[in-house]
Amino acid sequence: MKNLTELLENYTLEGEELKIFEFPAPVLKKKAEPVTEFNEELQKLCKDMLYTMYNAPGIGLAAPQVGKSIRLFVMDIDFDREEITNADGEVEYRLTNFNPQIFINPVLKNLEGEILYEEGCLSVPGVYEEVKRAQTITVDYQDINGESHSIDCDELLSICIQHENDHLEGIVFLERLSMLKRNLLTKKFLKNKKKR
């Protein structure tokens, strides 16, 4: 995990904020391509994606959500966000306890059990609904230098990885719901979106 620690130490919340594509943008419906080059450009993208995710704020962000159809997502299920009022009386957010994780070319296996959890998505703002996922999974993935790893996950980490991995398959969490709920929430989201 040396590379992640390096990234964390270099991480100053000084990345570039990327545009988050919202449902039903075509890039969210595409199956993403494998990452083949582990270069500086990839490092910058990961850092900018983390910056964008923390600022949103969200706990996970997949490359297709920022318009890049490649098999990569970033995640942090541990950070804390504290609301503070600055000297000018404006509300600011202080983020602490970062634990950024980067998954490149992930492959999910050993999906077992069942868990229901209320999910949301930065590409479908304002919509929260319970989704059924596997309780435990194993994920094989590459880190930012292309080295291979494998971890067993449960609870929120497992749920979040399944949600983000769906984005690489062109699936938004609305599509994991019953047809009735899916139609209802999609209609509501698109109607609200028009108003914004």
Residues 6+ apart with CB under 8 A from 108: 137, 138, 139, 161, 162, 165
Among residues 83, 119, 164, 169, which one is catalytic?
A: 164
Q: Least distance in Å: CB of 84 to Zn ion?
A: 28
Q: Least distance in Å: CB of 146 to Zn ion?
A: 25
Return the residue of 49, 66, 121, 168 that touches Zn ion, per CB under 5 A. Answer: 121
28 binds Zn ion (CB under 5 A): no
- The C-alpha angle 182, 184, 185, rounded to 5 degrees, equals 70
Active site residue 9: no
Residue 70 to residue 135: CA distance in whole angstroms: 26
Residues 6+ apart with CB under 8 A from 52: 15, 17, 18, 20, 61, 66
> Which stretch, 40-48, 69-77, 114-122, 128-136, contacts Zn ion (CB under 5 A)?
114-122
Q: Least distance in Å: CB of 7 to Zn ion?
A: 22
Closer Cβ to Zn ion, 15 or 64, answer by number? 64
Closer Cβ to Zn ion, 75 or 121, answer by number? 121
Residues 6+ apart with CB under 8 A from 25: 67, 123
DSSP E strands in 48-188: the ranges are 60-62, 72-75, 80-85, 91-96, 101-112, 115-119, 129-133, 136-142, 148-153
Closer Cβ to Zn ion, 53 or 104, answer by number? 53
> Which stretch, 21-29, 70-78, 87-95, 121-129, contacts Zn ion (CB under 5 A)?
121-129
Q: Which two tokens stand for residue 45?
A: 């993208």
Closer Cβ to Zn ion, 3 or 69, answer by number? 69
Number of residues that bind Zn ion (CB under 5 A): 1
The residues annotated with a catalytic role in the active site are: 164
Binding site residues, Zn ion, CB under 5 A: 121
